[in-house]
């Protein structure tokens, strides 16, 4: 995946430095050459010996080797690298980068580097939220540096919030995606996400608990690979902002169907992650139904199955992926949907798996392919699950024409 790629990793003084050996291992396994540079403070958090053993290169800290006086040229390092990853990067180093201060080898190399630079901050939540840090992050992004945002969780301080270094696998994935020339560049993709609301009257509806997060993460992951993503999004409070994602907001299953029909024929990959309502009220009251009416039943009729409709017109050069949410005989039911809806792969969620499905930030999936292949994954964040799904899509036989 990364054969022949040269990656500089700059480590600064943060407790999250303990995660860097995992990144180095992933990069080395993928075939990359890795050169580590540390600030003097970083050496108090993780030993250069560990990092030089894993990277198979001496770790550089000073401007010159104190033993033999040889010069560590930041200019040469900056020209050597295909990518410079600063992880973890502290508030202090970010402030110096903004100001152009170059008082250690890591910083001089920042100024000399001609390659893309990724920076992954890690610090206490109040430090990260401080206006000066936020301003610096903004400035660094304006320099063209790519931010790998910290995630939310328990911090070394015992506080809880944004400031955790992103997970090694995700940082690795960002690098691979970037360096691998975006395999979906220019390809159109269609993703649906969120619930649908089927109105009963002007103030009530039939809906479900879907947040839209799973589909949104899939859209993000496809867009990260260079795809032009059309996201058809049911009612969801999650913010989506990626330059490669266009959003059409819908409310009802009927609106979702017509949006999908508009985009499907030109879409190379379509992922139907939305939790579409299966039934809708036969009659929608045009005025609020009053309590006095003592309504005891509601007449319902099935909605159109959007996925099945798309499956009927799918061409050989299109990839269509569906979801199956099951509570019993999960694999058998999912396999039935895979065939009946003419899909290239189905993502099975079982409501029996704790932490999976609606309302969680995690998910546990099993992927089923038409030839009978089944792959089960452990519980992961929805962002990681999205990457697993997208990686599986990329490995499907049908290639774009
Ligand atoms: N789906 C759809 N249109 C519908 C209902 C579902 O496009 N009206 C899609 C979902 O987006 C999902 C897949 O079909 O990708 C499976 O949805 P699921 O609710 O698991 O299954 P159903 O086909 O609705 O069958 P059942 O409810 O009987 O399990």
Pick the closest to residue 274 from 325, 339, 202 (CA basis). 325
d(CA 164, CA 171): 13
CB atoms within 10 A of CB 44: 11
Q: Which atom of ligand 1 is nearest to the CA of 347?
A: 15
d(CA 109, CA 87): 14
Q: Is the omega angle on the peptide bond into residue 88 within 30 degrees of 0, that is, cis?
A: yes
Among 3.40.50.1950, 2.40.50.140, 3.30.450.20, 3.40.50.300, name the CATH number for the domain at 6-180.
Answer: 3.40.50.1950
Site to substitute for ligand 1 among 325, 339, 347, 357, most atoms within 8 A of C-beta: 325
d(CA 272, CA 270): 6
Question: What is the dihedral angle through the alpha carbons of 395, 167, 220, 243, rounded to the nearest 10 degrees?
Answer: -120
Site to substitute for ligand 1 among 250, 324, 350, most atoms within 8 A of C-beta: 324
CA of 256 to the centre of ligand 1 (A): 13
Crossing angle for the helix pair 91-99 and 105-112, to the nearest 10 degrees:
50
**Strands 228-233 vs 245-249: parallel, antiparallel or unpaired:** parallel
Structure tokens at 338: 């895979």
pLDDT in tens, the chain (401 residues): 899 999 999 999 999 999 999 999 999 999 999 999 999 999 999 999 999 999 999 999 999 888 888 888 888 898 899 999 999 999 999 999 999 999 999 999 999 998 889 999 999 999 999 999 999 998 998 887 889 999 988 888 888 888 999 999 999 999 998 887 678 988 999 999 999 999 999 999 999 999 999 999 999 999 988 899 999 999 999 999 888 999 999 999 999 999 999 999 999 999 999 999 999 999 999 999 999 988 899 999 999 999 999 999 999 999 999 999 999 999 999 999 999 999 999 999 988 888 887 878 899 999 999 999 898 988 989 998 998 899 899 888 544 33
CB atoms within 10 A of CB 193: 27
d(CA 6, CA 115): 10
List 136, 208, 220, 363, catalytic entry: 208
Among 3.90.550.10, 3.40.228.10, 3.40.50.10300, 3.40.980.10, name the CATH number for the domain at 188-396.
Answer: 3.40.50.10300
- Phi, psi (deg, nearest 5) at residue 206: -100, 125
**Two domains, one topology: 6-180 and 188-396:** yes
Catalytic, 208? Answer yes
Residue 61: the pLDDT is 95
What is the helix (H) or strand (E) element at residue 8, kind and residue range? strand 6-11
Domain extents in the chain: 6-180, 188-396
pTM: 0.63
CA of 301 to the centre of ligand 1 (A): 15
3-state helix, strand and coil shares in percent for the chain, rounded to the nearest 5: 35, 25, 40
CA of 287 to the centre of ligand 1 (A): 30
Q: Which residues line ligand 1 (CB under 6 A)?
A: 253, 272, 274, 276, 278, 303, 305-307, 322-325, 337
Q: Which atom of ligand 1 is nearest to the CA of 303?
A: 8
Give the closest residue (by CA) to ligand 1 atom 17. 324
């Amino acid at each position: 995946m990364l054969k022949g790629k040269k990656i500089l990793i700059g480590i600064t003084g943060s407790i999250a430095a303990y995660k860097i050996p995992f990144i180095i291992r992933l990069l080395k396994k993928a075939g990359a050459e890795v050169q580590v540079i540390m600030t003097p403070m970083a050496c108090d958090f993780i030993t250069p010996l560990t990092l030089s053993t894993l990277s198979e290169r001496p770790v550089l800290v000073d401007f010159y080797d104190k033993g033999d006086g040889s010069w560590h040229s930041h200019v040469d390092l900056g020209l050597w690298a295909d990518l410079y990853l600063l992880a973890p990067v502290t508030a202090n180093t970010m402030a110096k980068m903004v100001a152009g201060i170059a008082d250690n080898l890591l910083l001089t190399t920042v100024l000399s580097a001609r390659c893309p630079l990724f920076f992954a901050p890690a610090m206490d939540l109040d430090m990260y939220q401080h206006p000066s840090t936020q301003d610096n992050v903004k400035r660094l992004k304006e320099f063209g540096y790519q931010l790998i945002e910290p995630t939310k969780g328990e911090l070394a301080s015992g506080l809880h919030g944004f400031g955790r270094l992103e997970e090694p696998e995700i940082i690795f994935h960002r690098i691979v995606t970037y360096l691998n020339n975006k395999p979906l560049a220019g390809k159109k993709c269609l993703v649906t996400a969120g619930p649908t609301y089927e109105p009963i009257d002007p103030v009530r509806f039939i809906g479900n608990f879907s947040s839209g997060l799973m589909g949104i993460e899939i859209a993000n992951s496809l867009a990260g690979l260079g795809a032009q993503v059309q996201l058809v999004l049911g009612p969801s409070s999650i913010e989506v902002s990626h330059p490669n994602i266009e959003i059409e907001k819908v409310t009802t299953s009927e609106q979702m169907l017509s949006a999908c029909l508009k985009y499907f024929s030109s879409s190379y990959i379509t992922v139907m992650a939305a939790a579409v309502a299966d039934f809708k009220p036969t009659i929608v009251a045009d005025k609020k139904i009053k309590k006095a009416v003592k309504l005891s039943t509601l007449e319902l009729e099935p909605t159109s199955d959007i996925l099945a409709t798309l499956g009927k017109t799918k061409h050989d050069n299109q990839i269509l992926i569906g979801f199956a949410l099951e509570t019993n005989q999960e694999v058998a039911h999912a396999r039935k949907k895979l065939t009946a809806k003419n899909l290239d792969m189905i993502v099975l969620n079982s409501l029996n798996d704790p932490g999976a499905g609606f309302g969680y930030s995690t998910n546990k999936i099993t992927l089923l392919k038409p030839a009978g292949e089944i792959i089960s994954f452990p519980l992961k964040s929805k962002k990681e699950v999205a990457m697993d799904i997208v990686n599986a899509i990329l490995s499907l036989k049908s290639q774009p024409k």
